[in-house]
Structure 1
């Protein structure tokens, strides 16, 4: 998710719904591990106590072979070095399609061709050398309009354009695991990868899954918790993965229109959507768009909900939630 591992705490306590007739509680299966430079946690009740960890780890490795920019042998790395690529695994095309969807919906605030700028930021953070003078020359390679694709292959319309799916790959990974669990007849689950979460059904009879959202001003602490069922969520923020140079703060979520991150009032955004990939991509886009533009967008896109943390003009911490999730938040 956006190169940022959010510490979203998956609480053992479940939020309660109105009382319902009690049924015998099915034992919970818990899977944990490491992937994509972060961790994953999966919980699901199963009368047969089936353990799918081996299958999940195999899925995670296959997704990495397709979408990881840190692997030189991945499909996306091969494409970034070439002019075109024919898909071998079934994961490239869905992420590319979602990227275009969010790119168009946000007028380019989300753009997976931001890779050259991300590399410049990472090199600047590592070396502490000035990289902003290179932004204008790198911006010529940024723009999803330079990508042409179909369900079989992808190609560049301009040399040196490169893709980076880190802003939605973890969310997509959550969705792939969720679909796998459903294929095994698991209809109640919580899947979390690097802070991106998708839940289905109840945690136990009469109880929701309860998920915590990290405070952007107190890393490791909770800003709030939310009761979830049949929804996904993802959080983005520039407050952790950043550095200062010459009195200026640079964050890792880069505005693809100007070439660097822009510090504003908005500290973090948690987006709720039917699937985690959509939530992940829009969470990144909203950080780029800022508080006011994000709120306007959400007002006209009721299929999404969001919890936003920001600082007002007096530097006081404030939060705002869209109507669809207010009753599910703790207070």
Structure 2
């Protein structure tokens, strides 16, 4: 198929691009490069020896999106584009709602105009809010107790997609609720490259390990966990990318929702210790005040994806740390090197 990736130059988008191309698909990417680099796509082309059609377009630009659809024969869409920082969304909620929800409405409008009915949506485990039980399954309540505008924007989009599918029976939609993506491509050529101070744990740890930052800030040690730090389900980005292929292969009428995680959690201190062990570097850290919007523990029930998509995460935390370290060593300043 010819697949449109919105936000396809980003961290998850670029890794998914590799897997899609290697599976035989043709790609078109829309990205405004606000938090990504076109260099990631050039490196994907080098890895796969295949060309990618790229349009520098803001998904909130209706005429620009229409032009892309009119010039390409799109069969399916994987929708990654969106602002994604929990903390920034607390400071600037209107921007998050305008960008994440507004651009999705434009995408759905243009898809309908051009008769495109297949969509895989990049959602988030933040839609579960504070988990009432662990592991978190897809049947858990969504939209209640969400701790950030980012999470609420994802929940709103999920509801919009559900309503749209009820109105248009031809729509085939998979909603993928990511837990915590980490890792990098085994080649070291593509990886996570935050523009400013990393908001995710592993890029921050790797920057400390290589000497770009002095120490890791650990936000809070008062949680009811084994060591007092927050526990998350960390999934290797390549496993996550494979999940998109499986979801695309199993699209059916209506909306299907899947958790993509490993099914187990690691604490912040366990992740730092694993990275230190793999890299052979000491990782200085400092315990600081907990952040607003963080929950104590979250890890996935992944049985539905295993049963319906024949998908499971295969890579370990050590694998992810090793791949991140290789990416960091080869690209100390990300795609600017």
The structure with the greater share of residues assigned to strand is 1
TM over 0.5: no
Q: Which has the larger radius of gyration?
A: 1
Q: TM-score, normalised by structure 1?
A: 0.31
